[in-house]
Amino acid sequence: MEQTFIILKPSTINRSLVGDVITRFQRKGLIIAGIKMMQLDEKILREHYAHLVDRPFFPTLVKSMMATPVIVMVLRGKDVVSVVRSMVGATNCRNAAPGTIRGDFGMSGQENIVHASDSNENAAIEVARFFRPEEIFDYTPVTLPSLYAPDER
């Protein structure tokens, strides 16, 4: 099974939506392989958002991402990167479809509730950037036979 990397952004912490967002991932049947709270700094954000450093909104984005500690997560599941991206929805919450996390919980392009990896390759890079190996847990929930058929696991 694959892994993906999630950040519950300061907008989620400030708006007390942590439980609602995590509940969505759990109800879907995704396995929490790692979870912790941390304060991001400019160094890690320049790496994480390297594709955006030249954009005019980058300083505002960095400030926003450091406004409170964040909660970072590693989720595990079959095809989890694409499953989670479709659960999260379009980048701008105002364009995100109802039923998605951004579509249901936000009104902003920047303050958009969660980060989720966009490919298996980036997920591996992001997990390694934010977690030490011993912070990721490989366990089998007792519910696994109800989550997947044998040939899907």
> Using CB under 6 A as the criterion, which residues of the chain lie in contact with ligand IDP when the complex forms?
49, 52, 57, 61, 91, 109-110, 112, 115, 118
The single residue of 72, 115, 123, 131 carrying the catalytic annotation is: 115
Least distance to ligand IDP, CB of residue 36, Å: 20
Looking at beta carbons only, is 110 or 120 nearer to ligand IDP?
110
Which burial class, exposed, middle or buried, applies to 75 when counting CB atoms under 10 A from its CB (0-12, 13-18, 19+)?
Answer: buried
Looking at beta carbons only, is 69 or 147 nearer to ligand IDP?
69
2-8: strand order across its sheet: 31-38, 70-77, 2-8, 114-116
Least distance to ligand IDP, CB of residue 139, Å: 29
DSSP for residue 52: G
Looking at beta carbons only, is 22 or 65 nearer to ligand IDP?
65
Instruction: Judge contact between 25 and 86, C-beta under 8 A.
Output: no
Residue 115: active-site member: yes
Instruction: Judge contact between 68 and 10, C-beta under 8 A.
Output: yes
Active site residues: 115
